Structure 1
């Protein structure tokens, strides 16, 4: 499977679609009666009225979700190849994106983080262009607006504001206008939201939006570790990928080094942003899939022993399927 996806061909695109549906066969076989959650944050519903997730038949929900993942995987693959993060064009990023976006049952349905991943992939593309851009101020303004749009869909997306300044530290010399422009772009969207709330005599509710930002980071979490055994093979691959990246780090182009540092920070920021959502669900960690899939793809792109890396991927895929069924 890995060796097949190391090349860029139309056949691999067809295989990717088939593999995406195969990795979700467990939920197609055991469809629940309904899904009950909201697509948008409560403070956005004054602006946009859309049906609840429960209005969709489960089969429609799951089918749309897998199609969205396939589209995201292709877009993601295009961006990784465009910025030459793996050294050669390949379909591995798409393959690893589809694989890791099917880790848990909650990943397999339409959810706010799934929709936000379109925006996250777009932001990733812009951040990877940051070092080559002559006008960083406008780019940061655009990224700030994109983060605001993501926050309207799913509040923890707001924590990605940190990526504005971490990326500037990596890619640009200090320019206070660039440091401020991203925040202005973010505030522009919420300024219009505040005006809308004011017109509807509901400005008090607008100020309630920001309360999760003062939540304390949880000192303990209630975790059923049996539900996360599937992460063990994934963690092993991540460790091997980190070792592989470290081995090649100083032999890589400077732009590639900075790109992987930026993606590492994006992964961490996406991971810890759950604290802004007291009732967060497992699907929150879909936000970690784009930056994490690049690192996984890097390992499989550079691994030498075919029997080992093919076996490792097979173990990962089988583990995911097993735990989805049980």
Structure 2
């Protein structure tokens, strides 16, 4: 299976759909009786009002799967366009579809899954900074993207420092570029506040936005529910060795790209502390970067029996723990 996705073959799109369905079989066969969730933050309700009971349990899984497939193709295009893995393939798409099925909360429609469209857009923007002479417009767009993501899911605001980290990694210092991202972010905030002001409810806006919040006190984890992550950790450790082995033989842009992806992964994970109520689907924010890192191992591993077995083990764990 892995060997099939190591090439950029259009037929892989069909296999991708089939794998996405198979990896979600357990959830599809054990759908809950009802489904109620919010796709936007409460302070966005004045702009867009989406009923919490709009989707049935089946439609929630169905649309989530469609969204995942679209995002997988977009991620695959970005990785191949910027040659982040050294050769074109469908591996990032396969690993994205697989990783978004790791835990049951990932499989249903949720705000973080929608916000991942913006994460992919940010990755594409970050990758383009190195090739541009002028990046003021790119940083302004990135600031607006972060603000838009915050309207969907508040912890997305943790992506804002990535704008300046990307400038440190890719560019010499230029204060205008550092201000441009913040200006883009403030532009969206100003627009939202203006709408609230014109509706005479500006005070409600400040009451609903969690502008200041203490670090999340913690959460309870049932280790049995997360045994499925063991193959992921094995793949990540193997990927780290593979990336390190080839790191200094890669061109400068690719090396810097991996640094920004590493920071994206860290910020995505740590930003759970900004959640008012902790939800496990928060960690979907880390999946785009995670899929790229995991792809590096599967594309560069030489022993077919090993990398094929590792992927089959991962898929088996995902399906098994959906039924138990």
Return the TM-score normalized by structure 1: 0.97
For 1:82, the equivalent position in structure 2 comes to 81
**Alpha-carbon distance between aligned partners in 2 of 1:322 and 1:210, rounded to the nearest angstrom:** 40
**Alpha-carbon distance between aligned partners in 1 of 2:10 and 2:245, rounded to the nearest angstrom:** 32
For 2:115, the equivalent position in structure 1 comes to 116
Q: 1:221 aligns with which of 219, 243, 246?
A: 219
For 1:240, the equivalent position in structure 2 comes to 238
Q: Per-residue CA shift, 1:129-148, capped at 9, x if unaligned?
A: 11111221110000110111
1:219, distance to aligned residue in structure 2 (A)? 5.2
1:44, distance to aligned residue in structure 2 (A)? 0.3
> What secondary structure, in the 3-state scheme, does the structure 1 residue paired with 2:11 have?
helix
1:234, distance to aligned residue in structure 2 (A)? 0.3
1:33, distance to aligned residue in structure 2 (A)? 0.9
For 1:22, the equivalent position in structure 2 comes to 22
> What secondary structure, in the 3-state scheme, does the structure 2 residue paired with 1:55 have?
coil
C-alpha RMSD of matched pairs (Å): 1.1
**Alpha-carbon distance between aligned partners in 1 of 2:109 and 2:220, rounded to the nearest angstrom:** 25
1:60, distance to aligned residue in structure 2 (A)? 1.4
Q: Per-residue CA shift, 1:77-101, capped at 9, x if unaligned?
A: 0110000011111000000000000
**Alpha-carbon distance between aligned partners in 1 of 2:158 and 2:93, rounded to the nearest angstrom:** 26
**Alpha-carbon distance between aligned partners in 2 of 1:284 and 1:17, rounded to the nearest angstrom:** 24
Instruction: Work out whether 1:181 is the aligned partner of 2:169.
Output: no
**Alpha-carbon distance between aligned partners in 1 of 2:225 and 2:203, rounded to the nearest angstrom:** 40
> What secondary structure, in the 3-state scheme, does the structure 1 residue paired with 2:221 have?
coil
Q: 1:289 aligns with which of 280, 287, 290?
A: 287
Q: Per-residue CA shift, 1:13-47, capped at 9, x if unaligned?
A: 11001110111111111111112211110100011
Instruction: Work out whether 1:132 is the aligned partner of 2:131.
Output: yes
1:224, distance to aligned residue in structure 2 (A)? 1.4
The total of aligned residue pairs comes to 324
For 1:34, the equivalent position in structure 2 comes to 34
Q: 2:318 aligns with which of 320, 323, 326?
A: 320
**Contact 2:216–2:275 under 8 Å retained in 1:** no
**Alpha-carbon distance between aligned partners in 2 of 1:101 and 1:135, rounded to the nearest angstrom:** 35
**Alpha-carbon distance between aligned partners in 2 of 1:173 and 1:142, rounded to the nearest angstrom:** 19
Instruction: Work out whether 1:156 is the aligned partner of 2:155.
Output: yes
**Contact 2:235–2:294 under 8 Å retained in 1:** yes
For 1:276, the equivalent position in structure 2 comes to 274
Instruction: Work out whether 1:105 is the aligned partner of 2:104.
Output: yes
> What secondary structure, in the 3-state scheme, does the structure 2 residue paired with 1:304 have?
coil
**Contact 2:219–2:278 under 8 Å retained in 1:** no
Instruction: Work out whether 1:266 is the aligned partner of 2:297.
Output: no
Return the TM-score normalized by structure 2: 0.97
For 2:297, the equivalent position in structure 1 comes to 299
